[in-house]
Structure formats: structure tokens, C-alpha cells
Amino acid sequence: MLVRKHEGVLVQGITGKQGTFWSERMVESGTRIVAGASPGKGGRNVNGIPVYDAVSDAVAQHEVAASVLFVPPMGARAAALDAIHAGVRKLVILTEHIPYQDVMRVLAEAAEHGTQVLGPNTAGLVLPGETAVGIMPGFAANIFQPGDIGVISRSGSLGTLLALNLVSAGYGQSAFIGIGGDPILGTTTTDALRTLQADPRTRAVVLVGEIGGTMEEEAAEYITTMTKPVVAFIAGRSAPPGRRMGHAGAIVTGSKGSGESKARALAEAGATVLDLPSQVSEALIGHGITAIDLRTTTPIT
């Protein structure tokens, strides 16, 4: 799922501290926020953005392509369903600790109504120079610059580190997709890879994974069919056996889900697996993807 500059964005929970702060940052990044929604707060105005009691009220007045949720865990299901039933077809759920049964209900309703879901427990997405939807610093020029490298990450902080390393080496990003760290997600690693494979602006993909779950191993099968090179970094490869670490999804079960299992599957699929995030530029050069000096737009030699 990508949100383009021309698409209207709604912020659910915009009157809260985080919703207010990050709505300013998203606008600073180029995002076209057209409205906010907070039950009982309709009629207010946040940073020049009109606020409505319900998503349906906002949709009646504005063209809304996507909604981002700054909503507490126990209110996330109602907020997400409000957006889905109002006809919003792109949903970014930042909230973590949502009960699993609520997540499953939201994803079932989204599938029935044709709504794409990013998250829950996602940091959001960024299209440098266009939009940022969520809590990623799309406004920070030292982290995000327009370019042709797509980044997929379960972790917002690790994804930020890889994005920073790319810009430091002279690369820019076509898109950052934070899929989220929970075990049950609306967008999987494979889904995000399909999006970037189809994106004409993306020339190569950097995949940031973690121990736990099997998404990266399942994605390896799809990588064998891709025409774009994939560079991968798996965090937690040195984690002690049996130790639960990181996100709720970082639970190793059986022979799958370990860092070494993921790294092996990705390497066998043709991806270049990094030992350190700082090796990303070297790996891209190995695939013939030359860095561009972002100040002069000329190749770095």
C-alpha cells in the first residue's frame, strides 16, 4: 500500500497529543491531510484541519483516500470499522497491543470491503518528497530523500537506521513501508514486496526483518520471481535460543523463525543478506545499483 501526494488523508484521533503533533509533521512531509475525526470533538479545528465526530461525517465533506489511526488499543476496532464502513480504502493502524480478536475482526471486514490495511503496530509509510503517513520522520532530509530504493521493515527504528544509511551513502528511497511488528498483520512482507516490484520508481528493495514468525521465509519464495534485486538485514541473529526478544511477533517456533533460518532462506532465494546495516551501500553496488549524489544528482564514483 502506498499513499500518493494527491490523495486525501484523514487522521483519526487528531485531537490527542500524538495525533496533533504528528499531523503537523505529516503535513511538513507533503501529506495532504483533509480532515480529522475524534468522537465528541466534532466542530473543532487542529492546525487548520477540520475535525468531525465520525469518519462518515468527514467523508461526506472531503475526498478521503486513506486514514491513519492515533487511537488507544481498546478503541482501535471501532475506529477502524468506522473508516472501513465509511468507504476508506487505505488504513494505517499505528496502535499496538490491540486484542487479537479485534485485529482479526478488522482484517475480515477490510477484506470484505476491499480496504487495504497497514499494521497494526506499524510506524507507517513514507514516499520521500511526497507523503508520510504515520510516525516516521519523512520531514528529515538526512533520513529520507527521493530516490529509487524501496525499504520494507517490521521495525520503525531499524527501518529508520537503514534509511539513514542509504541517504548517508548517497541513495534515496522510492518508498518506506513499515509493515508492523505484530503477529497478525494486514500487510505481510510478501505483500509489500509485490507493491515495490510493481512500483515503476523502485529499482531495488532493502528488506529489514527480525527473528520470530515466518514472514521473511515465506517471502523468500516470492523473491525468486522478482526482477528487482533484494538486499536483506535480519535483526536478532545473535539472540540466545529460546529467548523472546523485540516485538510481539519475535517468537521463534520450531526450526523456523530464527535469524539463521531466515537468512538462509533469503540467501537461497537470491537476496544479498547483510551482517550489518552499514553494508547496505556495498551490497547495492554489488547489484549494479550506483549511488547518486543527492546534491548534484550525478553518480558517485
Contact 93, 118 (CB under 8 A): yes
Whole-angstrom distance, CA of residue 230 vs CA of residue 274: 11
- Confidence band of 301 (pLDDT split at 50, 70, 90): very low
Count other C-beta atoms under 10 Å from residue 97's C-beta: 12
Whole-angstrom distance, CA of residue 33 vs CA of residue 157: 24
Q: Is the pLDDT of residue 237 over 70?
A: no
Q: Is the pLDDT of residue 241 over 90?
A: no
DSSP tag of 278: G
Give me the active site residues, please: 247
Q: Is the pLDDT of residue 147 over 70?
A: yes
Average the pLDDT over 275-293 and give the result.
91
**Which candidate, 260, 268, 256, places its Cα nearest to that of 230?**
268
Q: Where in the chain is the domain with CATH 3.40.50.261?
A: 140-293
For 179-219, where are the E strands, in sequence order? 204-210
Whole-angstrom distance, CA of residue 44 vs CA of residue 50: 6
Whole-angstrom distance, CA of residue 216 vs CA of residue 210: 8
Rounded to the nearest integer, the mean pLDDT of the chain is 92
* pLDDT for residue 225: 97
* pLDDT for residue 60: 98
The 3-class secondary structure across 38-91, one letter per residue, is CCCCCCCEECCEEEECCHHHHHHHCCCCEEEECCCHHHHHHHHHHHHHCCCCEE
Q: What is the pTM of this model?
A: 0.92
Longest dimension (CA), the chain: 58
* pLDDT for residue 261: 87
**What is the pairing mode between strands 90-93 and 66-69?**
parallel
* pLDDT for residue 258: 76
CATH fold of 8-118 reads Rossmann fold (3.40.50)
Residue of higher predicted confidence among 71 and 214 = 71
Q: Is 149 helix (H, G, I), strand (E, B) or coil?
A: strand
Which pLDDT tens digit goes with each residue over 81-116?
Answer: 999 999 999 999 999 999 999 999 999 999 999 999
Identify the CATH homologous superfamily for domain 140-293: Succinyl-CoA synthetase domains (3.40.50.261)
**Which candidate, 191, 207, 177, places its Cα nearest to that of 107?**
191
Residue of higher predicted confidence among 257 and 36 = 36
Q: Could you give the percent of the chain with pLDDT greater than 90?
A: 84
- Confidence band of 296 (pLDDT split at 50, 70, 90): low
Which pLDDT tens digit goes with each residue over 180-226?
Answer: 999 999 999 999 999 999 999 999 999 999 888 889 999 999 999 99
**What is the pairing mode between strands 49-52 and 230-235?**
unpaired
Which pLDDT tens digit goes with each residue over 171-181?
Answer: 999 999 999 99
* pLDDT for residue 297: 53
Q: Where in the chain is the domain with CATH 3.40.50.720?
A: 8-118
Q: Is the pLDDT of residue 121 over 90?
A: yes
Which pLDDT tens digit goes with each residue over 253-262?
Answer: 555 667 788 9
Cβ-count burial 141-169 (b if 16+ within 10 Å, e if not)? eebbbebbbbbbbbbbebbbbbbbbbbeb
* pLDDT for residue 247: 58
Residue of higher predicted confidence among 217 and 297 = 217
Whole-angstrom distance, CA of residue 7 vs CA of residue 4: 6
